[in-house]
Amino acid sequence: MSISSPFFRTFTVGAVWFTAVALKMVSRHSGHWSTYPLHNFIVLVVAWVITALLLGVAASRFGRLRSWWGIGLGTVVGSFVVLGLMLFTVERVYSTPLPKFKSTDEMMVYFSNETAKWVKRDRGIDLDYSLGSIKVIEEELGRISKEVDRAKPQAGTLCLAIGYGAYIGEVLRRRDGGSWAVDHPVGGLRSYPLTTKSTNTIFPVGWCWKRLTNGEEENVYHKALVFTEAHNPFTNAAGAR
């Protein structure tokens, strides 16, 4: 294939661009590179091929796109379009509506299990609902918080806080018993308080929200340790968002 061929150029530039994207993704992975999910690389390869083929066809018809600069710009723009369409398609095909829950406890157990699946998929780690496993949640929140706009958190940030908070709460509820609620007179609407059998009330979702939007001073593992080591009943209203 000639170096002047549009397809040679689109596949070459695409290989460079998607390799850079892959390296960036791996650099943000908090675990060892060998634990990075293989399916993410497969998605990038598919996106590379589709982008290169489509751009190659376009460059064959329009001479202005055949330059290295034109193909470079087209690859960057095209990659976002292709990846966006792939994500949209996957969400439409595989997304399932939330099940109906009989209680808040049942809902939080569901979110907790979903969170464990996220971590297994992203890091290859099986969360075992031990107190030590909250360290993994803290690491995940720390990684995600670097991408959160603290002045105006992105859509979906609260959902992440609920998912990770549900896991932390379930770890503590398995140790101390208790039940979840949706609202709280101090924490507010949708603060998801967890009240244990010893009448201690904590806000794991609020902990995670603050960890995502404030920073490492809101370490959720340290808060969980404080709760488990405390001897006197207390209400951690400061943990509410």
User: pLDDT (tens digit, 9 = 90+) per residue, 86-131?
Assistant: 888 876 765 667 788 999 999 999 999 999 999 998 888 999 999 9
Strand (E) or helix (H) holding 201: strand 201-202
Percent of the chain having pLDDT more than 90? Answer: 61
CA–CA distance, 127 with 141 (Å, rounded to integer): 15
Residue 181 near residue 196, CB atoms below 8 Å: no
Residue 58 is part of which domain span? Answer: 6-94
Same domain assignment for residues 115 and 50: no
Q: Tell me if 129 is assigned to some domain.
A: yes
Secondary structure class of 195 (helix, strand, coil):
strand
Q: Tell me if 137 is assigned to some domain.
A: yes
CA–CA distance, 218 with 210 (Å, rounded to integer): 6
Same domain assignment for residues 148 and 63: no
Q: Tell me if 27 is assigned to some domain.
A: yes
Same domain assignment for residues 39 and 87: yes
Same domain assignment for residues 61 and 116: no
Q: Which amino acid would we find at residue 106?
A: E
Q: pLDDT tens digits, residue range 40-93?
A: 889 999 999 999 999 999 998 888 788 999 999 999 999 999 999 988 887 676
